[in-house]
Amino acid sequence: MAFEVTILGNSSASPTLNRHPSGQYLNICDNHILIDCGEGTQMQLQRYKIKKSKLSHIFISHVHGDHILGLPGLLLSMNLMKHEQPVNVYGPKELFEILDVFFKHSETDFSFPLIYHAVDPNEQTIVLENLYFRVKSFPLYHRVPTIGYLLEERFMLKKLNVDACQKLKVPFTHFNDIKMGKDYITADGKKIKNEELTFPSTRPISYAYCSDTIFDERVIKAIEDADYLYHESTFMHDKLDRAIKTMHTTAKQAGMVAKKANVNQLLIGHFSSRYEDLTPLLEEAKSEFPNTRLALEGSTFILE
């Protein structure tokens, strides 16, 4: 089962010449997801050869401009392309007030169902669940209502033993059922057990997304034992006063969150434009949590 994360933007409020505002693209078993949509996100999708027409779910953390200003343009471009499949948008209720005003005064009629899902930023809840994955929301602590998201594989497809299937002459039309754990019944009624046709599946993977937030122990409880954690690291720790005032996190604090939450790997992003060289932020986070990587734009992380 594929679980991939591509970083589209990793800058905080102000973009730089080589860093764009927040945006991430996720592919979970051919479910195409966007988390946050800062200015220029659709151009980043094109740059990294990701088809926006495939997007079905868009999750927004909060309504600060560096997380939403790319969303109206993205939706309007999909409309111009005569997109037809439903697009589900999740976020705080204030997001939909903003979008409605924009689309009302631009006299936009959508060619596809645009479905709003208001998420309570004060509660932990399951906001989406299907056969392959679920998405849980949880509160973050910023200057405006802000939501974190935990994406979890829900059901692991088994890996097909192609050689065994060919040897036993199993038609390819049955492969999906077999990967989902079903036995194969031959034309003459003989049952071939699933274990003979597959390899064991691996355990499900989880990915926590923490955008803008001050360091808060309550976040740690919400993401405990996640396999992968993306956490904002706007400032170095020598700017702790600035981080507290603006309700952001330092790179050192992001490492502390990862360590306390017992995650497997930490990705840091949402960097202030004051930092041209990101190496010091990486080193600071690693001082608390060694298994840390920079969420560099254009990077695709295979979660496994």
Amino acid letter for position 285 = A
Burial status of residue 251 (CB atoms within 10 A of its CB: 0-12, 13-18, 19 or more): buried
**Annotated catalytic residue 277:** no
On whether the CB atoms of residues 6 and 41 are closer than 8 A, the answer is no
Which of 36, 66, 212, 227 is the catalytic position?
A: 66
What's the CA gap between 60 and 68, in Å, rounded? 7
Tokens for 235?
A: 């400032």
Closest listed residue to residue 139, CA positions, set 218, 241, 34, 242: 218
On whether the CB atoms of residues 156 and 1 are closer than 8 A, the answer is yes
**Alpha-carbon distance values, 135 to 57, 206, 214, 304 (Å):** 11, 10, 22, 18
On whether the CB atoms of residues 142 and 62 are closer than 8 A, the answer is yes
**CA 274 to mean position of chain CA atoms:** 26
Q: Which residues are catalytic?
A: 66
